[in-house]
Amino acid sequence: MKGLNEASILKIIREHGPISRSDIAQMLNVSIPTATRITDSLLTDGLIVSVGFGLSSGGRSAPNLEINPTGAYIFGAEVTNNIEIALTNLKAEVIDASSVPAIRFGNPAETIKHIAATIDEMVIRNKIPDEKVYGVGIGTPGINFRANSIIEQSVFKGWNNVNIEELISSSIKYKTFVENIAYTSTLKEYWFGSGIGCGNFVNLLVDNGIGGGIILDGKLYKGMNGKAGHLGHISIENDGEYCYCGNKGCIERYASIPAIEKRVKRLIKDGVDTSLILEKPDLFDITYADICRASENGDDLCIKVLREAGRKLGSVVASISNIFDPELVIISGGVVRNNSIVFEECRAEALDRTFSFINVKRRMGIIKGNDRLQGPLGCVALVMESIFSQKL
Ligand SMILES: [Zn+2]
């Protein structure tokens, strides 16, 4: 992008297109010649197209401008249990996608090499000219302190103290943006999911760990070190279990997938009856999916543990509400994806604990994230931020 005006105009065309130059000028409060100069440049660059004619306010016909889907291409790669890679056009429509289990790659270096190789294959397979690849967005596990590009801590094995920028620059030839998956998942909700049109919300990603992202006034808020939103490390128990972050009793220790699995196994060891014993005689084999399934079949132990986790999460959502007063709190991730108990308990508890005298119409909404969106779209949004907003 050449400047803020280009990005602003592209954003307006993306959100309101097809749109005429005079409407763009009015919305941006610039003169029509200024809007025309910039849109002409965007037309030359192929980022927008003219799609037929509409009537301008003066009654004469004016070209309607729209984003050119083939004007640029974006890659998104998300590293979670699977490495999911997607190629999209400028309208974020997925053209090609790949997913392989992350366990196939022993370390971050191998993972990044796999992403680079897949990108190269997709470029060739889809006949994308190199210069049209605008960028690559990568969502990684762990805390990515932007100041030195080191992932310092991660719940993912092997992802501690990784210099991600070094790995990327030696394998990926395109402009690459990296954030942790809690941030990319927040951008996904903001650009394409449950947070569309909402300028103030908090996304609580509850999965193998608990993370989050904060959108304030339409912008991802990162804080001084790029670690704002690590909501999994809000302590709910003063003398609770030690956490790798340095705190004690972090919510991640009570409501993440491993924490819920651990709690169920603990209670089974203590002799609490459950249908899971017949199904999975070896405790080691019990997974979160098993716990959810057993709860749906009325298993008391599993229902109890899921409710406990939901209520604890709800107390954190109440704290979030008190700090940010957001329009929405979005709960996303594997814990709530296929299970309603945790979400419903969390929602009820949070509403119980927040100011009851606030006008109901102005109350914070608590909703689930949009599960239907593919993971890498959050990483695509990371690149789109730089095209359409220049806020990163
Ligand atoms: Zn912690």
Amino acid identity at 302 = C
- Rounded distance from Cα 238 to ligand 1 centre (Å): 12
C-beta separation of 290 from 280 below 8 A: yes
User: Who contacts 216 (Cβ-Cβ below 8 Å, separation ≥6)?
Assistant: 199, 200, 324
- Rounded distance from Cα 209 to ligand 1 centre (Å): 10
CA atoms within 13 A on the CB side of 87: 22
The residue count of the chain comes to 392
Residue 219: DSSP 8-state: E
- Rounded distance from Cα 153 to ligand 1 centre (Å): 11
- Rounded distance from Cα 205 to ligand 1 centre (Å): 15
Neighbours of ion ligand 1 (CB under 5 A): 233, 243, 245, 247, 250
281-324: per-residue pLDDT in tens?
Answer: 898 999 999 999 999 999 999 999 999 999 999 999 999 999 99
- Rounded distance from Cα 232 to ligand 1 centre (Å): 7
Dist. CA 74–CA 174, nearest whole Å: 10
221-238: per-residue pLDDT in tens?
Answer: 988 877 789 899 999 999
Type and span of the H or E element at 78: strand 73-79
What is the pLDDT confidence band of residue 47, given thresholds at 50, 70 and 90? very high
What is the pLDDT confidence band of residue 392, given thresholds at 50, 70 and 90? very low
pTM of the full structure: 0.86
What is the pLDDT confidence band of residue 53, given thresholds at 50, 70 and 90? low
127-183: per-residue pLDDT in tens?
Answer: 999 999 999 999 987 655 454 455 555 556 666 666 777 888 889 999 999 888 889
- Rounded distance from Cα 16 to ligand 1 centre (Å): 42
Other Cβ atoms closer than 10 A to 200:
17
Dist. CA 173–CA 208, nearest whole Å: 31
C-beta separation of 379 from 138 below 8 A: yes
Dist. CA 314–CA 322, nearest whole Å: 13
- Rounded distance from Cα 230 to ligand 1 centre (Å): 9
- Rounded distance from Cα 376 to ligand 1 centre (Å): 26
Type and span of the H or E element at 44: helix 32-45
CA atoms within 13 A on the CB side of 296: 8
Beta bridge partners of 145: 150
- Across all residues in the chain, what is the average pLDDT? 88
C-beta separation of 42 from 10 below 8 A: yes
- Rounded distance from Cα 248 to ligand 1 centre (Å): 7
- Rounded distance from Cα 318 to ligand 1 centre (Å): 18
- Rounded distance from Cα 259 to ligand 1 centre (Å): 13
Dist. CA 285–CA 275, nearest whole Å: 14
- Rounded distance from Cα 132 to ligand 1 centre (Å): 42
- Rounded distance from Cα 187 to ligand 1 centre (Å): 23
Type and span of the H or E element at 75: strand 73-79
Q: Any idea which residue has 């954030």 for tokens? A: 179
